[in-house]
Structure 1
Amino acid sequence: MTTTTPPVTLDDVRDAAARLTGVAHRTPVLRSRTLDALVGAEVHLKCENFQRVGAFKFRGAYNAASRLAPEQLARGIAAYSSGNHAQAVALAARELGTTAVIVMPEDAPAAKRDATASYGAEIVTYDRYTGDRVAIAEALAAERGLTVVPPYEHPHVIAGQGTAALELLEEAGELDALIVPVGGGGLIAGSATVAKALHPGIRVIGVEPEAGDDTRRSLEAGHRVSVPVPRTIADGQALTTPGELTFSVNRRLVDGVALVGDDEIRAAMRFAFERLKTVVEPSGATPLAALLAGRVERLPRRIGVIVSGGNVDAERFARLCAGGD
């Protein structure tokens, strides 16, 4: 009988954590008695909105980029992203003394686009509803001799993302559930790898916007399913299909996916600002939205939540909290 070796292990995540020491921030874990009372559980919020570039993505981008051969770094890096991975690769490239070319959708939030440029990256835009960002990035990479660092479809990226959950469990101790936002699936794949290895009985629950439930449908079908390009305020989760590599992990380790609507996301952003005194972007607010809206079934006693990012400019934040887009 043969056993398939998982693409990422707990040792891989621990190795990534050692590589990130002194480079990435060890982000805070927040508690709120008000939140606990509203939810009816003990909630531990791992605040990746305080990470470098304002999101968890720096963990995976740096872990992957820092492992490239010197000749690869000398030629430069390419990436494709709606914003947070774009910033992460741009900063990782700067830290490693190389250059980055980032393929971003034309409608990416201005704050994310501007921040990516501020780290020194070249930005190439495309229409997310008609263009193929992967094909564009790969063509640029082939033309210029660049190495593509994908946003989630890479073992080193997944391992890097898993360090957020590793830190959370080191600080909070054993938890009954871990709730994680799902886009391409890299964060939850890394998080589930850590959580299930350390605490086999823990439930790992993903959260997606209702308009973009590709991972939920895929888990139910047992294979990857595509949905139309989601129209949601959670731009970091506006994907059509789970990653092949990430889904191979998540179908084994993720226990379920909860869905939240845009209004519930807005309410969670307002709650985080007014009661937790922290700014969270729409995608980062989806796990909190799921808790506040009662979308998590069989609510456990001790819950960990990964707040994945806080990259939203002041104007859009105010507009979203007021009920707009």
Structure 2
Amino acid sequence: MLFAITQSTALVIVLLDGNPLADRLSAAGLLVLNGLWFICYGRRLVEEDRDDWRGFVYAAGSLVLFAGAVWFSGSATFALFGLVPQIYMTLPLWWAFFPMVLFVFTPQILTYAAGADPALPWPAALLIIAFSQAFGWAISRVADQNKLRGQLLERIEALTIEAERARWAAEIHDTLAQGFTSIITLLQGAQPNVELALQTARENLREARALVAANAPSPLDGSSLEDALRRLVSGVSLPSSFRVIGNAVPLATSVEVVLLRTVQEALNNVMRHSGASRVDVVMRFDSDGVSLEVRDDGRGFGDAPEGFGLRGMRARLEQVGGTLSLSSDEGASVLVEVPL
């Protein structure tokens, strides 16, 4: 925009000065060609942020056209206000300094060669040089800040996408994958388990719809946490029990979701890995907080490293200030504690 304004102003000034018509038209034509040179070549360098030898090519072509315009009309010197910023936009800061000096001194050199008074007083030329370098430094700083800001935004976007993928992976692992595992286990047990498998499949269908709609976990829809946990425990194919100790207190939805997912994951691990014949779940309320323990009589954890499920449980609990403890004393125990 600045370039277009200064070039248009320079054209008007040139066409209205006192030089012969032929000189005025020649100067105006060269200024127009200079504008076309920027549109066809220089603008692409600015848009692509090219800081290489192509900037010198643009500066050389622009200088030749500008010098020709000044030769025919000293009033074309006004075009400097639009041409100098273009040099700083197509070349690095200190590379642009020398072409800029040539642009500023061109009117002095040409008018001196023609034996006329300088079109631009020397003090004004030196002032323009100092101002141009300061202006170029400001442009460089703004460009660097914009580039840094763009890189930061790209990094934030990448981290956001990564976190969202991890969240969805945990959701799928904690709901659909566990439910389908239960279905397979139940169907392997023969006909009496078919009805329970169908019930589990319906639960997972509701889970899928809840995930897509970004709602709370479906086992909590329209029921208390205790009821949802009781349904989960009764849905396993092993002998099981669920009991609540203490007086239940209202919990934040985020805490209820974490406790529910933790029990889902623990029960899934019992069914898949423990070889247990029984599993018991105890929920306890006291003055300090709420705890949940899932205990089975299986083979325990042994020396096996924690898998994705346990790491996901820890990550979820950290979001609500909770802790996870594991033990393998006469089976396996998963203890979750969340402060109130």
Q: Which has the higher contact order (CA 8 A, sep 6+)?
A: 1
TM-score class, shorter: under 0.3
More helix by share: 2
TM-score by length of 2: 0.23
TM-score by length of 1: 0.24
